[in-house]
Structure 1
Amino acid sequence: ASFLQLGFLSWAFYASQPYLLELLESDAIWVVGIVAAAIALSTIVGNQVVSVAARRCGQRTTLLLAAGALQTGAAIVLGVAGSFWVALPALLLVTTGLGVTSPVRQAYLHQLVPSEQRATVVSFDSMVSGAGGVGAQVGLGALGEARSVGSAFVVGGLATAGAIPLFAAVRRFGGRADEIADSRGGVESSCPHGLPAVATVNAVAVDRAERPIAART
């Protein structure tokens, strides 16, 4: 799923800037800066959506399926939009979906994989995402040059739809990794319910820990 979703998004971030300027029929660079800032804010909004939505659903895959469908639909709208004011909200919906899927997917992996293999699996997941980014930038970039950038957004959006049946297959496994933890570990964060159930720290008071040492001396 990360190969498809993050691969498309790595291309879309850069391709969307000249595409939006073309739709706006302007070469004002400051517009690109505003769009980049809006993208960053939209991912933060996606993180907050995790916190709110998690109170109403008990499974991580529910959030992944909803966000995946949102990203696919918004990416297609972005490609067929003939107006800047339609394309920009569609782009922000795509990146809001990223703000939902990224923390939830990482939390699922951390909860599912034993600690002994966790670093290897997370590194492999990152490598797969990077490979998707390379493939998407080459393939969609060539398509955008041969046809149009809008066509590349449509094709890329359709490709991300491949993540939805993968999330559905994961959902059928169920298990504790798919359950959203009720505990926040005593810490308020931007996406507490996306964290694994073991996101706490066991601590021992310093003075109590030092007593046996002092007694031996």
Structure 2
Amino acid sequence: MLPSARRVQGTYFVLVLGNTLAASFIWGINTLFLLDAGLTNLEAFTANAFYTIGVLLFEIPTGVVADTMGRRWSYVLGSATLAVTTGLYWLMWLWQAPFWGWALASLLLGLGFTFFTGALDAWVVDALAAVGYEGSLERVFGRSVVVSGGAMLVGSVLGGVVAQLTDLGVPFLMRAGVLVVMVVVAGLLMRDLGFTPDRSEGPLRATRTVLRASITHGLGNPPVRWLMLASPFTAGVGFYAFYALQPYLLELWGDPDAYSIAGLAAALLSGSAMLGGFLAPVVRRRFRRRTSTILLATVTGVVVLLGLGLVQSFWVAIVLVGLWGVMSSIDDPVHRAYLNDMIPSKQRATVLSFDSLMGSGGSAIAQPVLGRSADLGGYGFSLLLSGAISAVAIPFVLLSRAQRAPADTASATLEGPSIDPATSV
């Protein structure tokens, strides 16, 4: 007997909650953790870049796991791998390891996260279709943003406070513990519905098939291609900016040891994410075209990064960070629904992973460059440069919009578009 759509969504939200809670314990203090280990800004952000290099290396091979072994196995392997590599990260800090050790550990963190990429979203979309759900994808993804925002709010504040009361290593141990719990939870609750894993090919042949599918349904599909090509300039820069805000806000606050302030700053993004998740379906209804929302969020992101580079007031910076969080979270469910409506079920996890890979490619280049610019000109200068780089994404969003894909004006349900693209504005 198939579960209800409500139960499928409940399982999805539990998995999002656990994954985000575990990750967010260290979001407010990760850069401070690396600097405390003796790394320079260049080394710290280059270590982060090795994480994205790991994503680049392993994204397609681990996509094979989701499409041939199943999405549940992919999630379980991701949780287990991240639990082990998070423990390794803590050991690197404890041993004051040389840079190459951090590079290796970050590479393995990238491996862990690639098991998640695309698998969970693909799982919920296929499962909802299998149980007859006819509601809005934006609504489901918007609620997931609210859930993840709440988890990030709790996790980032708790991580910052725990680091303040103990040391910077304890939040990493907390993260590893929650990930172990999620291995058990996913094993018990997840079932692959509406999707049958294809185990007919060996690993190497399956990898080639997955890569071809990524090109055909990703780069070979014009509206998907242009949106993917925007990712290196938005996701890549966004990853740097998120972690650069930790020491930058402490610098504006005037106390480099106020770890709880860094945690609260990350919590502000969490609260903004919750608000954005609530607003996403509302904003979506204000525009007939999904790319209108995506374009608005992209332009706002550019303005916010330029503003953060220019301001000298902690409180003004906080307002800008909040605005960035709201607009990013409004964009997220619309962006995901737009892509999902243009991807066949069989290749869904693969193409979503390929989209993530494009963002990781930009991040691998941007982080050491922007980290070095922070060493030379300060965090403010690096954020100005971040804003200039992210502006390059705007023409690509416009090119995706120009394709007038049916998904751009879809009714946002699993049944497909209900609005004639010719009537869109």
The bucket for the TM-score relative to the shorter chain is: 0.7 to 0.9
Q: CA deviation at 1:166?
A: 1.0
Q: Deviations over 1:164-199 (max 9, x none)?
A: 111111111113110141xxxxxxxxxxxxxx4216
TM-fit CA distance, 1:74: 0.7
- Provide the C-alpha distance between the structure 1 equivalents of 2:274 and 2:388, rounded to a whole number of angstroms: 25
* Distance in 2 separating the partners of 1:92 and 1:135: 26
Residue identity matched to 1:105: H
Partner of 2:237: 8
Q: How does 1:134-213 map to 2 (within 5 A)?
A: 134-181=364-411, 196-198=412-414
Following superposition, the deviation at residue 112 of structure 1 comes to 1.1
Please tell me the residue identity of whatever aligns with 1:198: L
- 2: distance between equivalents of 1:36 and 1:107? 26
Question: Shift in Å at residue 137 of structure 1?
Answer: 1.5
Partner of 1:123: 353
Give 1:133 shift: 2.2
**Conserved? CA contact 2:283–2:330, under 8 Å:** no
Larger deviation, residues 169-178 vs 110-119: 110-119
For 1:47 and 1:132, how far apart are their aligned partners in 2?
26
Q: 2:349 aligns to what SS in structure 1? A: helix
**Could you tell me how far 1:100 is from its partner in structure 2?**
2.0
Q: TM-score, normalised by structure 2?
A: 0.42
| Alpha-carbon offset, residue 156 of structure 1 | 0.6
Distance in 1, matches of 2:297 and 2:383, equals 17
Q: Which of 315, 321, 326 is 1:85 aligned to?
A: 315
CA-to-aligned-CA distance 1:78-110 (integer Å, 9 cap, x gap): 011111111111122222222122221111111
**CA positional deviation for 1:34:** 1.0
Give the unaligned 5+ runs of structure 1.
182-195, 201-217
| Secondary structure, counterpart of 2:285 in structure 1 | coil
> How far did 1:136 drift?
2.0
Query: Which residue matches 2:324?
Result: 94
Higher RCO (CA-CA < 8 Å; seq separation 6+): 1
Q: Supply the distance in 2 between the matched residues of 1:95 and 1:145 (Cα, whole angstroms).
A: 26
Q: CA RMSD in A?
A: 1.6
Give secondary structure in 2 for the equivalent of 1:112: coil
Matching residue within 245, 254, 278 for 1:48: 278
- Residue 24 (structure 1) aligned with residue 253 (structure 2): yes
SS of aligned partner of 1:54: helix
In 2: Cα distance, 1:122 partner to 1:19 partner: 32
Q: Identity percentage over the alignment?
A: 35
Query: Contact 1:79/1:154 (CA < 8 Å) preserved in 2?
Result: yes
Residue 55 of structure 1 aligns to a residue whose secondary structure is helix
- 2:285 and 2:332 map into 1 onto residues whose CA distance is 18
Contact preservation (8 Å) 2:284, 2:334: no
Q: How far apart are the structure 2 equivalents of 1:171 and 1:134?
A: 27
Scaled by the length of structure 1, the TM-score of the pair is: 0.80
Which runs of 5 or more structure 2 residues have no equivalent in the other structure? Answer: 1-229, 417-425
Residue type of the partner of 1:132? G
Number of residues of Structure 1 aligned to a counterpart in Structure 2: 186
In structure 2, give the amino acid aligned to 1:78: L
Cα distance in 2 between the residues matched to 1:134 and 1:95 = 22
